[in-house]
Structure 1
Amino acid sequence: MIVKKSETRIVTGPEGFERIFFAGGKKLMSTQVNMKNGVVGPSHSHPHEQVNYILSGSLEVTIAGEKTVLNAGDSYYVEPNIEHGAIALLDTVMFETFTPEREDLL
């Protein structure tokens, strides 16, 4: 699969939140998440493994009730079915990967 920038699917959430979908398949999904300062990614869980890498900005991430501030160059992993959420402390860009694909986001 090839996805050119001009063909990229972008989904917006609350004001100041957008997700850009990259090439992927049923077993792997990657996106770029852009969050403006102050945007809240509400606490949730899902049956997928997740890895996020902070490209720029800063987030307060809560995983299983534990809060941590992450900055550009930091990453985090979320096990399946673990409650997690985030608040952008600065304008933030993240690369996120899920396995398997999150059909609920498509």
Structure 2
Amino acid sequence: MSAEEISDLYQRKVAVGENITVARVEVKEGAITHSHSHDNEEMILVLEGTWRFYLPSGAVTISANQMLNIPPGVEHSSEALEDTVALDICAPRRSDWLTGADRPLHADPDQFLWAV
């Protein structure tokens, strides 16, 4: 499994099964994921560091050996409060990770041209 660089601040190594996706994610301090939702249940287990997630119910901060479950359809975004390593587990599998369609979620918005 080789590392996929999503942005300067976000890398992942992905393993995909028929019904599940598991990724080892490395995010640098300050990395953000823009607000989004998906049809997948997502569980994030932080191995090192601290990661804050913003959910409709409020902000949740998880650190080493803590896990967050995000149900399908729940809007969420995140910010790495320090360099963080985590396992990101999704079911059913994340087809957008296979195609790279999720890349804009992790990018600096100043690097994109937006049309309205």
Mean alpha-carbon deviation: is it higher for 46-55 or for 12-21?
12-21
Secondary structure at the aligned position of 1:105 is classed as helix
Instruction: Give the secondary-structure state (helix, strand or coil) at the position aligned to 2:65.
Output: coil
**Corresponding residue of 1:32:** 24
Take 1:82 and 1:67, find their aligned partners in 2: how far apart are those partners?
Answer: 13
Residue 34 of structure 2 corresponds to which residue in structure 1?
Answer: 42
Q: CA deviation at 1:64?
A: 2.1
Deviations 1:66-99 (A, max 9, x none): 1022111111001111111110001000101100
**CA distance in 2 between partners of 1:80 and 1:56 (Å):** 25
TM-score when scaled to structure 1?
0.86
Q: Which letter does structure 2 place at the counterpart of 1:100?
A: P
**RMSD across aligned positions (CA):** 1.2
Aligned-partner residue type, residue 46 of structure 2: I
Displacement of 1:65? 4.8
Taking every aligned residue pair, what percent have the same amino acid on both sides? 26
Q: Which residue of 2 aligns with 1:20?
A: 13
Shift of 1:9: 3.6
Structure 1 segments unaligned to the other structure (5+ residues): 1-7
AA aligned opposite 1:93: V
Q: Distance in 2 between matches of 1:18 and 1:65?
A: 28
As a proportion of its length, which structure holds more helix? Answer: 2
Please list every run of at least 4 consecutive aligned residues from structure 1 whose deviation after the TM superposition is greater than 6 angstroms: none
> Structure 2 length normalisation: TM-score?
0.79
Aligned residues: 98
